[in-house]
Structure 1
């Protein structure tokens, strides 16, 4: 079109530029418009609006406003599309206050704003946490000729829900109903999700019943939110019933819905039912993803069905799926807890060869297993290797190693490691302190154990019932009855002595 002698009308060029904008080729549009200018093809109002849109999406607001200047210079009158695009561009860049000032300026000059304008501003305010300002703007809109619509209300409801102000969000939803502004699926999903996160399942289900009874459309996300909430509360039977309701309503469950239900069954230890859902998903033509496999692998490993979990890994590889760090960590932990440390170490090597980086969870699982198996040299070597690779140990990693060293007769090494944590100013938790105290008590070093208990309290870490019981039991065994009784009274005073005896029953 640029090369032919008789130049095509500008409308034809605009069609091409508009199509490229839909494909998000913003830089290409800008480049082509420059080529048009070089060829003497004069941009019209539509072309300039397209350019403003491109610069806005690229976050180049100075260029966007320079194109606005060109529009005015050429004698064109900016319309709501021009102004809305500029306001949206400012909001996308996080400059919502500038967008509001721009709005005030153009309104003062007599320009009329529409639903899109206010929807853009309200959404921008809510996205930047300015929900109160958004409500004020909504009230201001009501005093003008523009009537608030479902998009405006939904933006504010979403903002209030993100601020955990669920009751206020519901009040705004009720206001919509009173004004006969009908909520859409986004409004409902936002509120249902907020109710679920706040643990108000009854409120969430009343909204679902309302959607169904009023014939309002639901989507896969509506049901997935509720299924997830039920599963998190261990109500897996109710979650499965909801899956049936979902299907009855003509909504096909997706991979996320099925995976959520599988996860729910695994959480309550019903792995066989999770496996049935996994197979049902495949039969319904829904392909499991890495997340789905990870849920099943983790569930099987937790139930000590590690060989079945390993078969699923092979199935993933056969399907050319890429297992991630989570996949390998579940299997390595499962193998370690089954005492198959060599297999776990081999799997870690395979993980490395497949380009999946081992993380602190991988190393901690292996280190814990080596310590429990009294392979302390290997455990220490693995700990050093972990630090060399720049992976920072967690407090659980340190606790596992300190516990292993104490139980393996290397108390001095354990004390050195523990002292290292104190010197570094690490936030040592109750379990790490208790493990160190236990190691000292085992060697009859009660003064040192009590000194650590005192240090623990000074650092604001409160000893729990296990901490007290370890020291008290050790003192009784060594006939240090007076010291034991004194600690027992302290334990009672702190309200830590429940209906338990010293056999741990």
Structure 2
């Protein structure tokens, strides 16, 4: 087999298959084994070589050689020892000694020398060579050295050895697992068939997986249907590949149909199949199929692992199928597995989701749950339902049973604050302190939110100052509420202090809150402060949204500082912030204000190319600006893209474009836009019509009122008719 490898394999430095025997000449063989001690005096490994040779001179046999080589630290010295042994009379290398040196060279990436010894091994016709090389291939595969494994496999074939289908499957599976491109996998599969190896179901499964990885769904399903023609029957791994691959592509119904086919064929899944497919169906919210597989798993004698129970119970609670979830919990306990607290939390959340709070409470009592998290879940459920009285009563019960913590109190206090119940909050806080629980940062964060909800921003600010004095930190939402609240009462200095403290603590601010603060500064004309604020927020990790940039750019334009818009725009690009329609609008406005026609044309083209459509006001402004500077012809292609869409260009805009192109000498382009206009049932205004038929000369336009002043007029058929009668 002297076939040439395709480019994808050559790029991985795999030598051309079948050419190994070509580049190793008899001369190379001879010189490879010459040991020139004169040239090796300066080699760092020479001392180790000499010491090892002393050990072997009077006792040289294969096992002893392998032990000495194992104790040799330097690979070059080991190779030299191996070559020295080759020259000794009455000694012949065995398959074991060759496989040792081949493995070491391959693991070091020395493919050339590895190839040489592979061929020497084949020429020596060592006994049990095939049995010795197969583990070498396995070792290469386990260590992700597929190039070396492929070389050894090919040399075996050249030596008329016939590796088993298992060895080929190991290689094929590794190619797929390593994410090799499909052409590499297909090439190896074809070479395998050419070598007379009959593919088995494992081979076809690897090929099926490779087809899915290459997103060849139709071909993969066709390959599955052809398995019987190749004498193979699908196994659980086959259906696992089908189900997981289809679910990953949101083709859930198709995966269910294959699962049904698996049942019909009476194909029995193994433990791996169930451990993978049950979570997959849970992730795509198909508890019916997940529970069906679970029952099959149990009937097959497999005991599910804890994570299978956990994800299945969670899925059932979310849907919600609580009776089935509780049965699974009982089954889990019967098998000797101890449920984690999260499992009970999921069931409690399921009860709360459907408003069955009494059932949730009974469930916790019946199971004698002493962990705090499930009880906190029920407490949170009461609060989310707005039943604060029962939440408080249940919290008291938790305190009496000594299963409450500070977070339990913060749950109730936070929800009361978020709903404006500040008075009740302080009553609960007093009870908390009396019960010997110390208020933590979460409590103070909740109090700040509560004060902001009732618009007591001064009190919230005092709380913040107290927390700052303690070098404590509030939570993310509390800072956001406080900053936005201070902006509403025009306390921008204080809001900036909050942001500065957050920044020094490495705490980011909510993007929407930053927008509120920046807008407040821009509205008051304090552009320097707004820009510094953006830099401060960026240093704390706060993400600046396009709205923040747009707000500052608007402010710069409104304060006659449009020349700085491009600077901010460049910073926006450097920080990787996406451009939205409003950002494009303000940038185009800035370009127009600075008379930057080239930049305006480029930006306008980029905007439309990215799928953004300017509104009527922005589009009219760009068209008038470019027409005024006789540059409409530079954006004709972009205008045509917009004209191809309905309700983007209105008649007045067509008049601007047609008139402007005529003035620029682009009569052909102007006529094309006129045709588009007439196709829509619109007619040009009097000025444009006069230019088209020649009744208004260019001299008249240049000498009279600016022609663009007339573009805002609506089309009037009567005017055009009157013009024609004249």
- Whether the TM-score (by the shorter chain) exceeds 0.5 is yes
More displaced 10-residue stretch of structure 1: 142-151 or 182-191: 182-191
Contact kept in structure 2, 1:192 and 1:204, CA below 8 Å? yes
- Aligned partner (choices 503, 511, 514) of residue 398 of structure 1: 514
Counterparts of 1:411-450 in structure 2, within 5 Å, are: 420-422=549-551, 423=553
Q: Matched residues in 2 for 1:34 and 1:81: separation?
A: 33
Confirm whether residue 303 of structure 1 aligns to residue 415 of structure 2.
no
Q: Matched residues in 2 for 1:343 and 1:263: separation?
A: 36
Q: Matched residues in 2 for 1:11 and 1:137: separation?
A: 50
Q: Give the drift of 1:111.
A: 0.8
Q: RMSD across aligned C-alpha pairs, in angstroms? A: 5.4
2:715 aligned partner: none
- Aligned partner (choices 148, 158, 169) of residue 84 of structure 1: 169
Contact kept in structure 1, 2:514 and 2:548, CA below 8 Å? no
Confirm whether residue 175 of structure 1 aligns to residue 261 of structure 2.
yes
Contact kept in structure 2, 1:302 and 1:334, CA below 8 Å? no
Confirm whether residue 377 of structure 1 aligns to residue 476 of structure 2.
no
Q: Matched residues in 2 for 1:182 and 1:329: separation?
A: 55
The 3 A distance-change label for structure 1 pair 402 and 235 is: farther
Counterparts of 1:310-329 in structure 2, within 5 Å, are: none
Contact kept in structure 2, 1:56 and 1:64, CA below 8 Å? yes
Confirm whether residue 136 of structure 1 aligns to residue 222 of structure 2.
yes
TM-score of the two chains, using structure 2 as the length reference:
0.41
1:453 aligned partner: none
2:479 aligned partner: 366
2:721 aligned partner: none
Q: Matched residues in 1 for 2:233 and 2:75: separation?
A: 38
Counterparts of 1:465-480 in structure 2, within 5 Å, are: none
The 3 A distance-change label for structure 1 pair 153 and 387 is: same
Q: Give the drift of 1:83.
A: 1.4
Q: Give the drift of 1:159.
A: 0.7
Q: Give the drift of 1:140.
A: 2.5
Q: Give the drift of 1:65.
A: 2.0
The 3 A distance-change label for structure 1 pair 265 and 106 is: same
Counterparts of 1:145-184 in structure 2, within 5 Å, are: 145-184=231-270
Contact kept in structure 1, 2:483 and 2:495, CA below 8 Å? yes
Q: Matched residues in 1 for 2:76 and 2:134: separation?
A: 15
Confirm whether residue 112 of structure 1 aligns to residue 241 of structure 2.
no
More displaced 10-residue stretch of structure 1: 394-403 or 141-150: 394-403
Structure number with greater Rg is: 2
TM-score of the two chains, using structure 1 as the length reference:
0.56
Matched pairs, number: 376
Structure 2 regions of 5+ residues with no counterpart? 1-51, 83-96, 100-128, 374-404, 416-428, 434-439, 451-459, 532-546, 554-568, 570-577, 583-613, 617-726
Q: Matched residues in 2 for 1:108 and 1:329: separation?
A: 71
- Aligned partner (choices 88, 94, 98) of residue 42 of structure 1: 98
- Aligned partner (choices 309, 319, 330) of residue 223 of structure 1: 309
Where relative contact order (Cα < 8 A, 6+ residues apart) is larger, the structure is 1
Q: Matched residues in 2 for 1:275 and 1:413: separation?
A: 58
Counterparts of 1:226-265 in structure 2, within 5 Å, are: 226-233=312-319, 239-240=325-326, 242-254=328-340, 257=343, 260-261=346-347
Q: Matched residues in 1 for 2:167 and 2:65: separation?
A: 18
The 3 A distance-change label for structure 1 pair 74 and 251 is: same
- List per-residue Cα deviations over 1:301-337 (Å, max 9, x = no partner): 4433799xx99xxxxxxxxxxxxxxxx9978855653
